[in-house]
Amino acid sequence: MPPTASAVSPTSGGEVDLAFVPLAGPILGMIQTGRIKGIAIASAKRHPLLPDLATVSEHARFKNFEFGVWTGLFAPARTHDAVVARLSNAFHEWNDSPEFLALATAQGLRKLDSMTPQQAAAFLRAENEKFINIAKTLNLVAQ
């Protein structure tokens, strides 16, 4: 069973009081039909299909809180720049295509902006730093 399903089934059945899950698959419909109650969304802005669902960062204690699921293409560091450019361009074409936009919209997903390889590297560094800071704040120690 996928991790989302293993958290949502017990939550919708009343066996689990709270779950932090991605807004994907059946989750959007379950919130819209009242099968589960959305408390807050962990994105920078409210979701257009759930405009009444506040963001986590709207709460005073959680300013600037954002946690998102993202997808990236990765290749070995030694991959030739021309190959990286070709892969990047193909991904951007798909990400901006009407077919992908229709698929994303039907699943309640928001389209992410395409990034250059340099922007993606900076994004990954920022994500890594964010989680390092969270671990330090929680006094987590690597095992």
- Which residues lie below 8 Å from residue 31, measured CB to CB, with a gap of 6+? 23, 37, 38, 50, 53
* Residues carrying CATH 3.40.190.10, the chain: 3-62
Average pLDDT over residues 75-102: 93
Q: Which residues of 3-31 are buried (b: 16+ CB within 10 A; e: fewer)?
A: ebeebbeebbeeeeeeeebebeebbbebb
Using one digit for the tens of pLDDT, what is the confidence trace for 23-56?
877 888 888 888 888 899 988 889 888 899 999 8
From 7-16, 17-26, 128-137, the region with the lowest mean pLDDT = 7-16
Using one digit for the tens of pLDDT, what is the confidence trace for 103-112?
887 777 777 7
- The dihedral built from the CA positions of residue 69, 15, 28 and 58, taken in this order, carries a sign that is negative
| pLDDT score at 2 | 47
Percent of the chain with pLDDT over 70: 90
Answer yes or no: CATH 3.40.50.720 is held by domain 3-62: no
